Amino acid sequence: MVNDLREFLDELEKRGKLLVVKNADWDLEIGTINELVAEKQGPGLIFDEIKGYPKGFRVATNLLHHRIGQKLAFNFSEEMTDLACVEDFKNKINRFSPIHPIEVSNGPVKENILTGDSIDIYKFPTPKWHTHDGGRYIGTGVITITRDPDEGWVNFGTYRVMIQDKTTLAFYASPGKHATIMREKYWAKGKPCPVAMCFGQDPLLFGVSTIGLPWGMSEYDFAGFVKGKGVEVIMDETTGLPIPASAEIVACGFSPPPEEDSRPEGPFGEWQGYYASGTRNEPVVHIKTLYHRNDPILFGQPPIKPPVNTWFPIPLHTASFLWNRLEKSGMMDIRGVYVHGPGNRIIAVISLKQRYLGHAKQVATLAGAFLQGGACTGRYIITVDEDIDPSNLDEVLWAVCTRCDPEQYIDIVPGFLTSPLDPMLSPEKRAKKDYTTAKVFINACKPYHWKHEFPLVNRASDELRQKVMEKFSEVFKGIK
């Protein structure tokens, strides 16, 4: 398993999936090249010799959208199907037992340590990614580390970060996110919140940082468990926060209560494909210590208008957890769970073998409640029978078109949490900070009470197919 960003880049290069681009400008050129290459499902990109910056101060983008990259980061074999990866990860979550990070005294991240007047975040070639962005976003592939002041456990999550000045960063964490809750606890005690922001690291840490782990479960412990060994960390003395020893760039500091300091954040080209949340004042971090490796690589993961996906293609972060939670809550005969749509967050599909009247509705209702917490997350919950592969959207649509009478089997339930990033929040709701959305529950299973009379499916049986394929093997030789 790879241990840091550089080992990951080496592996991509070996597989012919990495391209070095020289002489691009941080001001929109890097972002636009990234967008164009991502649209064509092109290779990962390393930008070097960036305009106005020394050779070696690099930006890496477009690294994760290939299945190869996700399988490398999460240690899956290359031949596994998407649904098999989701199921495997779901089973892994079930076996979870924390593997704590290992504190070490030294690591590559300490190659350069800047404090006081020598701190200058503009030292790194942070792109302005999209035309209407309000500034330069250093935190797009970021992990932001905080410690709960009451319970002591360490969280990290991905929340975007915009540069304000050479020692100040603004960060946007939505309502309900763990860093949002933790920072508010410090502020309620009249204290600034210690924060460490890491701008380039082992892709597994980034992957884990975007998974909504339950409150109290440290992402470090979970990443250690997935790796099978503790993540090496060094302790930042000023904040008392553990930072990955092999990270590329880490800014450590304090976030004061917003009444003391908060700055305009946004607009930013967001993952739903819009600049929906505009500009608001958001909390800041004042940097006290800036660490970086020699020849640092800033990892960029800027959103691009869907359907282009530059982020992990297999929905481990949503589908595996949803599947796990449904099973844990006693739901029987769940055959598969997948999540489609932008960010693999919006359209949840659950395939099940219906065992009793209301089974599909019960499962869907729980799924709607479990998929909480981000803009539009789990807006559509679709239940399908066990003959439908939930990872195959065409099959799912066939079921929706042929097994669901909209009048009877679609429910619209208002009042779920969304976030300011939701493009469908009306100006009135936004003004009232009413960040709620309805969810749509589509039951595309054959109606339970007459499923035995439901028309037969027009498909040769598996046995007949097998027999015919063996008999006419010549016909099928070249056909996959």
Residue nearest to ligand FMN (CB): 157
CB atoms within 10 A of CB 260: 12
Phi–psi pair at 389, nearest 5 degrees: -80, 115
User: 58 or 178: whose CB is closer to ligand FMN?
Assistant: 178
Does the CA dihedral 221-223-228-232 come out positive or negative? negative
Minimum separation from the CB atom of position 315 to ligand FMN (A)? 11
Q: Residues 304-333 vs ligand FMN: string with x where CB under 6 A? A: -------x----------------------
Minimum separation from the CB atom of position 250 to ligand FMN (A)? 18
62, 210, 391, 418: residue in contact with ligand FMN (rule CB under 6 A): 210
158, 164, 218, 418: residue in contact with ligand FMN (rule CB under 6 A): 158
157, 194, 336, 390: residue in contact with ligand FMN (rule CB under 6 A): 157
CA distance 183 to 468: 64
Minimum separation from the CB atom of position 411 to ligand FMN (A)? 26
Q: What 8-state DSSP symbol labels residue 118? A: G
146 interacts with ligand FMN by CB under 6 A: no
Q: Which of 305, 309, 306, 329 is closest to 317 using CA atoms? A: 309
Sequential DSSP letters for 319-369: IIHHHHHHHHTT---EEEEEEESGGG-SEEEEEE---STTHHHHHHHHHHH
According to DSSP, the β-strands at 380-385 and 347-352 are parallel
275 interacts with ligand FMN by CB under 6 A: no
Q: Which of 180, 401, 178, 171 is closest to 265 using CA atoms? A: 171
178 interacts with ligand FMN by CB under 6 A: yes
CA distance 70 to 39: 18
- Tell the burial category of 349 from Cβ atoms under 10 Å away from its Cβ (0-12, 13-18, 19+): buried
Binding span for ligand FMN by CB under 6 A among 167-175, 251-259, 352-360, 425-433? 167-175
**Coil, strand, or helix at residue 301?**
coil
Minimum separation from the CB atom of position 421 to ligand FMN (A)? 8
183 interacts with ligand FMN by CB under 6 A: no
Element (H, E) at 205: helix 203-209
Does the CA dihedral 11-16-17-20 come out positive or negative? positive
137, 172, 220, 435: residue in contact with ligand FMN (rule CB under 6 A): 172
Q: Which of 253, 222, 270, 245 is closest to 144 using CA atoms? A: 253
User: 301 or 383: whose CB is closer to ligand FMN?
Assistant: 301
Q: Which of residues 358-377 bind ligand FMN (CB under 6 A)?
A: 374
Asked if residue 219 lies in contact with residue 233, where contact means CB atoms within 8 angstroms, the answer is no
179 interacts with ligand FMN by CB under 6 A: yes
Minimum separation from the CB atom of position 316 to ligand FMN (A)? 11
Q: Which of residues 23-82 bind ligand FMN (CB under 6 A)?
A: none
211 interacts with ligand FMN by CB under 6 A: yes
192 interacts with ligand FMN by CB under 6 A: no
342 interacts with ligand FMN by CB under 6 A: no
61, 167, 201, 301: residue in contact with ligand FMN (rule CB under 6 A): 301
Structure token digits, residue 76: 């899956």
Element (H, E) at 165: strand 160-165
Give the binding-site size for ligand FMN (rule: CB under 6 A): 17
173 interacts with ligand FMN by CB under 6 A: yes
Structure token digits, residue 388: 């439908």
Minimum separation from the CB atom of position 210 to ligand FMN (A)? 4
212 interacts with ligand FMN by CB under 6 A: yes
Residues forming contacts to ligand FMN in the complex (CB under 6 A) are 155, 157-160, 172-174, 177-179, 210-212, 301, 311, 374
